[in-house]
Amino acid sequence: NAGVTQTPKFQVLKTGQSMTLQCAQDMNHEYMSWYRQDPGMGLRLIHYSVGAGITDQGEVPNGYNVSRSTTEDFPLRLLSAAPSQTSVYFCASSKDRGYGYTFGSGTRLTVV
Amino acid sequence: AQSVTQPDIHITVSEGASLELRCNYSYGATPYLFWYVQSPGQGLQLLLKYFSGDTLVQGIKGFEAEFKRSQSSFNLRKPSVHWSDAAEYFCAVEGQKLVFGQGTRLTINP
């Protein structure tokens, strides 16, 4: 089925470890974004991209890196995991402004 | 900078009753406005969107929302809620990026 695929679905990291959350979409969408969801805080934007080779910071970018080398993929890298990065992470994509984003099913990350 | 406020963290209504979820936004130009719904343990699903034209927009699952520029509001409504509507609802505004409010959790009493 077409959509946004996130891997892994669950991950436990130790403090200081690094990892990459994968996000892929097969809808040829130009816009892609990463959010984290924490109780009572809604979804906060980490990084976003408006096309291959173009990325920008969102509301909470510290501790995260992204790159967009292809239209399909938008990986999120945690450089040195901290307990404060324990969260549910969502990737989303959109054809253009105003179309509405399609969301992946999320990655639940726990940092111990 | 764009921002969204959802004043109600948690709302409880009885099944069959009407529903209104509030949303206020801040954005310098005419915004794209959205409502999303998230069922427990799931991702987000788009309910409806607004950019221009008729200020009353219809969405899926019997939801509608009204854009009021003078009040910077985009409230979500449903005439009669069903137990399956229990979920968390997010209002969002899109300028160059999509920004969400904190969400409203809806509980349905039988």
CB contacts of A59 in chain B (<8 Å) are 99
Q: For residue B55, give the amino acid letter.
A: T
Q: What would the pLDDT profile of A45-97 be if each residue is shown by its tens digit?
A: 999 999 999 999 999 999 999 999 999 999 999 999 999 999 999 999 999 99
**Yes or no, beta carbons of A100 and B49 under 8 Å apart:** yes
Residue A2: per-residue pLDDT: 72
Interface test with A, best of B98, B99, B102, B105 (most A CBs within 10 A): B98
Residue B52: per-residue pLDDT: 84
Residue A1: per-residue pLDDT: 62
Q: What would the pLDDT profile of B17-60 be if each residue is shown by its tens digit?
A: 999 999 999 998 878 999 999 998 888 999 999 988 889 999 99
